[in-house]
Amino acid sequence: MKLYITLAVVVVLVIATIWILNLPVFGKHPSGKRLERLKKLPNYKDGQIENLSPTPNLPDNVTYWDIIVKMIKGNDKGSPTKPIPNATPDFVKSEELKITWFGHSSYLLQVDGVNILVDPVFSERTSPFQWLGSKQFLGTDFIKPEELPDLDVVIITHDHYDHLDYNTILKLKAKTKEFVTSLGVGEHLENWGVDTNKITELIWDQNMITKNGTSITATPARHFSGRGFTRNKSLWSSFVLKTKNNNIYVGGDSGYDTHFKKIGETYGPFDVAILECGQYNLMWPLIHMMPEQVVQASIDLGAKKLLPVHWAKFKLALHDWDEPIKRLVESAEKQNINILTPIPGQTFKLDDGTTAKKWWLEIAD
């Protein structure tokens, strides 16, 4: 009798797992012509995509159990105790480049009369389920997708939950003219009801011109992809945006490597490099940059200004919430790097002096 009960429990768990993993939020793996295109990539091997350099997700001396134990232990300073300050965005279209950072890796670029939104995530948690995972920081829920202007382009760098959010896409797909993303990610978007004709998927060093005339080129990054138990079925990328008067680097997520120097030599210099700064740890040193490496990457790219993102909204690592920006500022000041530090929601131009304020010090414990 016990055997039958055990078997029944196992069967139920298997069925439940299969059902859960087939929920829309998990997306779909690339198939058909999309998969055939992926298989032609030089870095597609043994059924998955590889980085340009060998990139194990964890060092040899670290296990996933080590990460789980430390994550459970947590860090009391991983989230701020006071609300993150925010400003009311200015969504009026602009010919001159304006940037509005919404926290973490979501930001709006307004230039040449075009609205370009990058990695929009406006849910409470970066998780397949809104009851699972740490909540967004106090003060960072100041904008809803419905309040955004009509969008000419939405860029999705890769398919991780903190860059590609199911609920956000559902709310933005009707007001977005074009989606530009890495090859394979379009399978998720189509599964969520985005019109196939709106989607352009790029491979590294492939260029496209949007309907409004913006040049977008996908470039390498050192990271990984996946929304379920399998990884690296879709590509991850950084992007180069060329407008009438600006050259912009959209970094996405990436560990430090030689690709920054090569991108700078090929596509630079850049008026601004928007680079991830946060959610790093020595237990995963190759897929996210340490703050000092972010500064070096901006130098490699030939960036005139550096906008650090990927911080100040979600707790996805073990460091203090404000450690990334403190370390980055210290390193940047030593090397005379011009950094931009707007508060979330603040709309600014590249020469706006108000973006140099160290606002995080005002809410430090």
Domains in the chain: boundaries? 26-363
Portion of the chain with pLDDT greater than 90, in percent? 84
Q: Report pLDDT for 4.
A: 56
Q: How many CA atoms lie within 13 A of 356 on its CB side?
A: 9
Q: What is the pLDDT of residues 224-268, one digit of tens each?
A: 999 998 999 999 999 999 999 999 999 999 999 999 999 999 999
How far apart are the C-alpha atoms of 64 and 69, rounded to whole Å? 9
* Residues ≥6 apart with Cβ < 8 Å to 186: 34, 179, 196, 199, 201
Q: Are 242 and 208 in contact (CB under 8 A)?
A: no
How high does pLDDT run on average in the chain? Answer: 94
- pLDDT at 168 > cutoff 80: yes
CATH fold for domain 26-363: Metallo-beta-lactamase; Chain A (3.60.15)
Confidence of residue 16 (pLDDT cuts 50, 70, 90): low
**Whether the predicted model's global pTM rises above the 0.85 cut:** yes
Helices (H) and strands (E) in the chain, counts: 8, 15
Which of these, 99, 77, 60, lies nearest to 250 by C-alpha position?
Answer: 99
Q: 13: helix, coil or strand?
A: helix
Q: Report pLDDT for 6.
A: 60
